A and B are shown apart, each in its own frame.
Chain A
Amino acid sequence: MAYVAKRIIIMIPVLFFLSVMVFSLIHLIPGDPAQIILGQDATPQSLAALRAQLGLNQPLPMQYIHWLGMILQGNLGYSLLDHTPVSTLIMQRLPVTVELAIGTVIVAFLISFPLGILAAVKRDKWEDFTALIASTIGLSVPPFWIGILFLLFFTVKIHLFPSSGYVPIWKNPGQNLSVMILPMVATGIREAAVLLRMLRSSLLDVIDHDFVRTARAKGLRGWTVIVRHALKNAMIPVITTGGLQIAGLLGGLVITEEIFSLPGFGSLLVNSVFSRDYTTVQACALIAALLVVVVNLLVDLVYGLMDPRIRLQRGKS
């Protein structure tokens, strides 16, 4: 309990600084933000109206307090394009990105688990080297290039999957999967490479422990020892890495959504950038960072639950 409380107390200054950073974003725009947003042809009246809408007339600390008050009430502001609440825009787009992220993680686990276990069990044999080379290549090839190659081959050359036409999974699961499978695999390959390495080294650490030797001495079969004894203990760092990857994944998904024309959170951000809808950009940055903070906190708590030593050690410090 002390550990959980400490983790949450530490989050308070983090969230404060995070809010200051997101608030400051609009002030990074060189010159008058209202002029940049509306362009050179804007009338003085429209400029004044936008300055009032963004609160740019007030002193900076007042602007921050006003903005924070709105955020704490769940009001992320209004789109500068059509005055739609930004929270509505984000809620419309977020399910696509969440589905893509979940699919990516599933693909990453499906690839990395068999290969990671095989590499650890066959240490220094050709299976191990092949898995390591594959993971090195997987780490180096940018996911967006894999995405483009997939489009080139599966869509343009052999016409196996459509290049666009996203429908929500609850409306048409078949078509949804046919559109989502390529981006999921394209992004999942890199994540799999990271997990594979982590799982291999974590398993190699555990395999040498006494309890694994004891399980073998009891006459358990090789795979039973690995799956039921070693893997269970090797999972802690893998889960941490996996959790942190989910948090970092959000950045990679921005570009994946662009390549595959998916109407997700990332494409909302990119479109808002190009249409100079800075309120939406600001809100997207805030939501992305908050998602990462929450996922990190959950990972940390799960980590603590899985390994009592960490809980005790961090609770004391």
Chain B
Amino acid sequence: MALASGIENSPKPQKAVRKRNRWYALWRNRPLIIGGGVVLIVLLAAIFAPLLSPYGPNAIDTNGILQAPSAHHWLGTDELGRDEYARILMGARTSMVVSLGALIVGLVIGVPVGLVSGFYRGFVDDWIIMRIVDAMQAFPFLILALVLAAMLGPGERNAMIAIGVGYVPIFVRIVRGQVLGELEKEFISAARMIGASDWRIMWKHILPNTLTPLIVQTTLAMASGIVAEASLSYLGLGVQPPTSSWGTMLHDAQGYMGQATWLALAPGFAIAIAVLGFNLLGDGLQRWLDPRRRN
């Protein structure tokens, strides 16, 4: 009995049990596993796009236009004879680059503003920063991106900025909300008592505790970034031809729906799969990182 209680009280086995439970919870977290797997495939396709197809995404073949899917061209060819499969792979790269770039724009502006705003509060926070955030959120996400892309001009870089600006208010709100919660905690008072500067408290003590909701939000933002990039490109304000984009491909396919049905299927399916992957990953991460929902 004494031996058993000794084993129970020893930290090592408890740690092992906790670790095993954690792995078990991870295995049971299907959205995380499936979403993570899909996202990994999309990222690998984006990175190794040129190696995964024998055809170049912009290689025109005038003798092979609008060919149906076959052993040579798995997803058929478009109106210029370009291999649809190669363009889908390259479209994954465009989608990931623009979405990640937009995410970086949103994080670089949103996180520091949310951190400082929540930490100092007061008039500037309540009546200026948060009201600017409210005003930014009044613009529907796609309309803001569309108008900014229109003003800045079409192109990959401007699409990143246009989409990224839409993320800023979301990240400011998330970080600020977390900061307000953290400021109430004792370890912040303790850090103040030992003389830590505001800067140190913000970056060393508070920021790490805002990471959980931020990580979840970044995966969900990737999903909306993919749709926003495709939408802008569909409208002609995203990446410009001949660069492959799922949105541009869908736009071009609409002109050939009577003759080449497949052209309208593959890009939309690619968008849906990528968005599904990031949505599931976000959902799974939320469960995984929140101890109350983990089991």
Chain A residues within an 8 Å CB radius of B151 = 25-26, 28-29, 278, 281
What residues of chain B lie closer than 8 Å to A285, measured between beta carbons?
A: 139, 143-144, 147
Distance in angstroms from B102 CB to nearest chain A CB is 15
* Smallest CB gap from A266: residue in B: B143
* Cβ-defined contact, B254 with A148, below 8 A: yes
- Kindly supply a per-residue 1/0 record for chain B positions 82-110, scoring 1 wherever the CB is within 8 Å of any chain A CB and 0 otherwise: 00000000000000000000000000000
Confirm or deny: B142 has a beta carbon within 8 angstroms of a beta carbon on chain A.
yes
Contact B150 A148, beta carbon cutoff 8 Å = no
Q: Does B127 contact A (CB under 8 A)?
A: yes
Chain A residue numbers with a CB within 8 Å of B136 are: 21
- How far, in angstroms, from A289 to B140 measured CA to CA in the complex? 7
Q: Restricting to A250-299, which residues have a CB under 8 Å from any CB of B?
A: 250-252, 254-255, 258-259, 269-270, 273-274, 278, 281, 284-285, 288-290, 292-293, 296
Residues of B with C-beta under 8 A to A165: none
Most buried by A among B137, B152, B237, B261: B137
Contacts of A28 in B (CB 8 A): 148, 151-152
Instruction: Check A250–B143 contact: CB distance below 8 A.
Output: yes
B141 contacts the other chain (CB 8 A): yes
Cβ-defined contact, B223 with A140, below 8 A? yes
Pairwise interchain contact B271-A142, C-beta atoms closer than 8 A: yes
B42 to nearest A CB, angstroms?
Answer: 13
| 227-264 of chain A: CB within 8 A of chain B | 247-252, 254-255, 258-259
The answer for the CA separation of A251 and B140 in the assembled complex, in Å, is: 5
Q: Within the assembled complex, what's the spacing in Å between the Cα atoms of A269 and B151?
A: 12
- Counting CB contacts under 8 A, is A136 at the interface? yes
A247 vs B279: C-alpha distance when bound (angstroms)? 22
* CB-CB under 8 A for A149 and B268, given A28-B152, A136-B276: yes
Binds A, one of B21-29, B114-122, B204-212, B227-235: B227-235
- Does B3 reach chain A (CB closer than 8 Å)? no
User: Which chain B residues border A296 with CB–CB below 8 Å?
Assistant: 138
Q: Cβ of B135 < 8 Å from any Cβ of A? A: yes
Interface string of A1-41 (1 = CB under 8 A from B): 00000000010011111100100011011100000000000
**Which residue of chain B has the shortest Cβ distance to A157 in the bound complex?**
B261
A14 near B264 (CB under 8 angstroms)? no
* Given known contacts A136-B280, A141-B272, A289 and B250 CB-to-CB distance under 8 angstroms: no
Q: Is the CB of A251 within 8 A of B237?
A: no
- List residues of chain B with CB within 8 A of the CB of A290: 138
* In the assembled complex, B131 has its CB within 8 A of some CB on chain A: yes
Give CA–CA (A252, B132) in the complex, Å. 23
Cβ of A151 under 8 Å from chain B:
yes
Pair A13/B131 contact, Cβ less than 8 Å:
yes
Interface size (A, Cβ < 8 Å)? 50
Contact across chains for A139 and B279 when beta carbons are under 8 A apart: yes
Q: How far is the CA of A142 from the CA of B152 in the complex (A)?
A: 25
Among A129-170, those with CB < 8 Å from B are: 136-137, 139-142, 144-145, 148-149, 151-152, 156
Pairwise interchain contact B138-A145, C-beta atoms closer than 8 A? no
Q: Which of B144, B146, B250, B279 contacts A270 (CB 8 A)?
A: B146
Are A144 and B134 closer than 8 Å at their CB atoms? no
Q: How far is the CA of A165 from the CA of B152 in the complex (A)?
A: 34
B237 to chain A, nearest CB (A): 7
B257 interfacial contact with A, CB 8 Å: yes
A141 to B234 alpha-carbon distance, docked (Å): 15
* Bound-complex Cα distance A157 to B275 (A): 28
Interface set, chain B 144-168, CB cutoff 8 A to A? 144, 146-148, 150-153
Identify which of B223, B237, B264 gathers the most chain A CB atoms within 10 Å of its CB: B264
Give chain A residues whose Cβ lies under 8 Å from the Cβ of B254: 148, 151, 259
Chain B residues within CB distance 8 Å of chain A: 127-128, 131-132, 134-144, 146-148, 150-153, 223, 227, 230-231, 234-237, 250, 253-254, 257-258, 261, 264-265, 267-268, 271-273, 275-276, 279-280
Closest 9 pairs (CB-CB, A-B)? A251-B140, A251-B142, A145-B268, A140-B276, A17-B135, A13-B131, A273-B150, A18-B135, A28-B151
Could you give 28 example pairs across A and B, Cβ below 8 Å? A13-B127, A13-B131, A14-B134, A17-B131, A17-B132, A17-B134, A21-B135, A26-B151, A30-B153, A139-B275, A139-B279, A140-B272, A140-B275, A140-B279, A142-B227, A144-B231, A145-B271, A145-B272, A152-B261, A251-B142, A251-B144, A254-B146, A259-B254, A269-B146, A281-B147, A285-B139, A285-B144, A292-B137
